[in-house]
Amino acid sequence: MKKNLYRTLLVTVLLADAVLLGLAGKREQKKRIYMAERPLVTIPAYADSLVLPPNIAPLGFTAECPDMKIKAVKFSAFVYPQADPANPIGTDTALAVGQILFDPWPGKFEAQHLRQWHGLLAGAKNGFIRVEITAYPDGQPDSLQCFPPLTWFIADEPIDPYIIYRTSIFEDASYHHLVIEQKNIENFETQPLLDNFLMNRNCMNCHACEGNNINNFLVHLRGTLTGTLLARDGELLKLKIPDSHPGLRLVYPSWHKGGDFIAFSTNQVYSQHFSTPNRKGLVTVDTLGDIVVLDTKTLELFSCDELTSDEYDDVFPCFSADGRSLFFCRAPARGTEAERQALEKVRQQARHTPADSLFFRTGERLENWMGVSDEQIEKANALRADLMQIDFDPDTRRFSNLRTVARFSDMNRSVTMPFASPDGEYLVVSVLPTTTFSVQVMGDLYKIHLHDSTPSGMVPTGVECGYRIEPIHSLNTDGSETFHSFSSNGRWMVFASNRETFGIPELYISYVSEGRFAKPFILPQAETDFYARNLRAFLFPFLSAEPAKFNATKTAEAAHGESVELKVIDLDKYKTAARPASESGP
């Protein structure tokens, strides 16, 4: 009897142990982490081997697949001696100096995340950060997947801590709500500097800063509050073009080194809306443009014969880094013999047909141009600008020695938006198939060496070109790249691109080393899923070393306030009223 009892107890214990071991095995199986073969696809698509500033805020992201949820991200910092972020010597010899784990992965970065992140970056200068992502399928939190790590190199040179840009949301008119914002790149703090809801919903033209100083700032307003807002050391002043010159407008600005002069083009901006079954769009074209210069000390507008010719339209002036010359883009004026020849050239090219869309890379046909004729489309296609240069003496305010830098029209291209590097070694321009407003027309970024006349492969024999030209392959995509500017130390460039959406431009940053541009990364945002739901366009970025001394309330007060009338020197052609510009332009 006792033997049977012992046997029963023994069997019961063994069965209980087996059950416990089985349950434990199942629990262990549930906790198993699977190693993925490929990196997690994220929004935004942060790549491997990025180069980041040592003062940048954390880079947030979410899984592109809505059924995949990020659980945690581990950032590990490593350093090695004599590291060059543009030419890393390898990660296998590096020494670990710290790590942080964000578990759970936040929906929004808070103060504690920023403290941990910046503490990690401080020890990783000239080193790198390894990024390890753990995620799971939605509804299966125990089925964890660990993805191959990313490596982000940390440069020694900081970026200017403030970025200024314009945002808008397209709703029938591109200027429905325009806001110029200032964002602190280090901690995400954002404040509006101009808001057109506070200014009768006026449209505004492109803004510009003097160098990397937001407190020397300018933007031209259109509509009921027409005028130019000028900030000098943060003090706002509204400028007015005299009634004696109703045809004069101040559109795309460029500040002279030191802030004593600002160059403008006088374009009449007009826009045409079009639609396809799947998309609405906007095409902006500039016409009737000259180049004029404002003396910010005397408030006088002046120019010269070479910059006010009736034979050409000029746009997008850009002072050189030393302030001794002015670059700008030039195309034949409407109705001239030069335009007729350009139009005939377009008509002879089979790939240009009236129904083709040169404004998007998708190749969609334009089903409805809302009254735009085939001839108008052909004229837009024929508008191709060349890059020009003219010397400028700031002491005498005189111009001389006009010359062609590169005749892009002979290469079946158009050039726009030149911007000089702070060291004066090169220009970065946006090169397009046609027109001069590149956010809509597949712009690619090119570099023009100002001290190198070596012929480049993209320039055909016989085409007039004084400098070496090359595309910046590391920045260009099938989208549009444009609206570029540099940091004060010249080691970072920010630009706009619609590569992720092919419709909505967003801001990217690239590290610059000896004239080479590293892989760009999108401007970080506090919300980790920001770009998965973003519908705002980001344009005209400038970096600033200090924050603005004004805000949206002060600019609205200045816009509604009294104006100071400018003095116009020898620009009699603008005493005739010009064709009104559309309020849909930039």
pLDDT in tens, 465-477: 778 899 999 999 9
Range of the domain at 398: 162-575
Q: Do 317 and 466 belong to one domain?
A: yes
Q: Do 445 and 523 belong to one domain?
A: yes
Cis peptide before 104 (omega within 30 of 0): yes
Q: Helix 337-347 and helix 374-382: axis angle, to 10°?
A: 100
Query: Domain boundary at 111, 132, 154, which?
Result: 154
Residue type, 175: Y
**What is the Cα–Cα distance from 394 to 296, expressed in whole angstroms?**
12
Q: What is the pLDDT of residue 292?
A: 97
Q: For 45-60, what is the mean pLDDT?
A: 96
Percent of the chain, pLDDT > 90?
Answer: 57
Q: What is the pLDDT of residue 224?
A: 86
Q: Do 137 and 279 belong to one domain?
A: no
Q: Do 319 and 381 belong to one domain?
A: yes
Q: What is the pLDDT of residue 585?
A: 37
How far out from the chain centre does Cα 339 lie? 31
- Find which of 3-7, 432-436, 476-480 is predicted with most confidence, using mean pLDDT: 476-480
Q: What is the pLDDT of residue 163?
A: 98
How far out from the chain centre does Cα 196 lie? 21
Asked whether residue 1 is domain-assigned, the answer is no
Q: Do 58 and 178 belong to one domain?
A: no
Average pLDDT, the chain: 82
Q: What is the DSSP letter of 447?
A: E
Strands 325-332 and 312-319: antiparallel
Q: With 60 as the cut, is the pLDDT of residue 523 above it?
A: yes
Query: Domain boundary at 126, 154, 182, which?
Result: 154
- Of 214, 218, 230, nearest to 163 (Cα)? 214
Q: For 334-352, what is the mean pLDDT?
A: 54
Q: Do 66 and 212 belong to one domain?
A: no
Query: In the structure, what pLDDT confidence band is assigned to residue 345 with cuts at 50, 70 and 90?
Result: low
**pLDDT one-digit tens code per residue, 384-420:** 889 999 999 999 999 999 999 988 888 888 899 999 9
Asked whether residue 62 is domain-assigned, the answer is yes
Q: With 70 as the cut, is the pLDDT of residue 312 above it?
A: yes
Q: Do 396 and 470 belong to one domain?
A: yes
Q: Which two tokens stand for residue 383?
A: 């508008």
More confident residue, 341 or 179: 179
Q: What is the pLDDT of residue 9?
A: 44
Query: Domain boundary at 154, 178, 209, which?
Result: 154
Q: With 60 as the cut, is the pLDDT of residue 3 above it?
A: no
**What is the Cα–Cα distance from 79 to 329, expressed in whole angstroms?**
45
Q: Do 147 and 225 belong to one domain?
A: no
**What is the Cα–Cα distance from 373 to 495, expressed in whole angstroms?**
33
Under a CB-based contact definition with an 8 Å cutoff, are residues 485 and 499 in contact? no
Q: Do 139 and 199 belong to one domain?
A: no
Query: In the structure, what pLDDT confidence band is assigned to residue 576 with cuts at 50, 70 and 90?
Result: confident
Percent of the chain, pLDDT > 70?
Answer: 75
Q: With 60 as the cut, is the pLDDT of residue 23 above it?
A: no
Asked whether residue 301 is domain-assigned, the answer is yes
- Of 370, 351, 350, nearest to 276 (Cα)? 370
Q: Do 450 and 479 belong to one domain?
A: yes
Q: What is the pLDDT of residue 17?
A: 46
Q: What is the DSSP letter of 289?
A: -
Q: Do 176 and 124 belong to one domain?
A: no
Under a CB-based contact definition with an 8 Å cutoff, are residues 282 and 584 in contact? yes
Query: In the structure, what pLDDT confidence band is assigned to residue 335 with cuts at 50, 70 and 90?
Result: low
Q: Which two tokens stand for residue 56?
A: 């940048």
Q: What's 414-436 look like in SS3? A: EEEEEEECCCCCEEEEEEECCCC
User: What are the two backbone dihedrals, phi and then psi, of residue 231, each rounded to the nearest 5 degrees?
Assistant: -110, 125
Q: Do 187 and 62 belong to one domain?
A: no
Asked whether residue 17 is domain-assigned, the answer is no
Q: What is the pLDDT of residue 286?
A: 53
User: What are the two backbone dihedrals, phi and then psi, of residue 498, each rounded to the nearest 5 degrees?
Assistant: -105, 30
Q: With 50 as the cut, is the pLDDT of residue 586 above it?
A: no
Q: What is the pLDDT of residue 543?
A: 98
Q: For 92-114, what is the mean pLDDT?
A: 93
Query: In the structure, what pLDDT confidence band is assigned to residue 357 with cuts at 50, 70 and 90?
Result: very low
More confident residue, 460 or 120: 120
How far out from the chain centre does Cα 107 lie? 25
Q: For 250-271, what is the mean pLDDT?
A: 87
Burial 405-422 (b: 16+ CB within 10 A, else e): bbbbbbbebbbbbbbbbb
Asked whether residue 480 is domain-assigned, the answer is yes
Q: For 87-99, what is the mean pLDDT?
A: 74
Residue with the two structure tokens 């005209």: 540
3-state DSSP helix/strand/coil % of the chain, to nearest 5: 15, 40, 45
Whole-model pTM?
Answer: 0.85
**pLDDT one-digit tens code per residue, 153-202:** 999 999 999 999 999 875 544 557 899 999 999 999 999 999 999 998 88
DSSP 43-110: ES-PPTTEEE-TTPPP---EESSTTEEEEEEEEEEEE-TT--TTS---STT-EEEEEEEESSPPSB--
Q: For 497-505, what is the mean pLDDT?
A: 82
Q: What is the pLDDT of residue 27?
A: 46
Q: Exposed, middle or buried: residue 579 (CB in 10 Å: 0-12, 13-18, 19+)?
A: exposed
CATH number, position 192: 2.120.10.30
More confident residue, 91 or 546: 546
Number of domains in the chain: 2
Query: In the structure, what pLDDT confidence band is assigned to residue 289 with cuts at 50, 70 and 90?
Result: confident
Asked whether residue 404 is domain-assigned, the answer is yes
Q: What's 107-121 look like in SS3? A: CECCHHHHHHHHHHH
Asked whether residue 402 is domain-assigned, the answer is yes
Q: With 80 as the cut, is the pLDDT of residue 18 above it?
A: no
Q: With 80 as the cut, is the pLDDT of residue 441 above it?
A: no
Asked whether residue 357 is domain-assigned, the answer is yes
- Find which of 7-16, 199-208, 255-264 is predicted with most confidence, using mean pLDDT: 255-264
Q: For 486-513, what is the mean pLDDT?
A: 92
Q: What is the pLDDT of residue 379?
A: 60
Q: With 60 as the cut, is the pLDDT of residue 251 above it?
A: yes
**What is the Cα–Cα distance from 187 to 526, expressed in whole angstroms?**
8
Residue with the two structure tokens 């969609």: 364
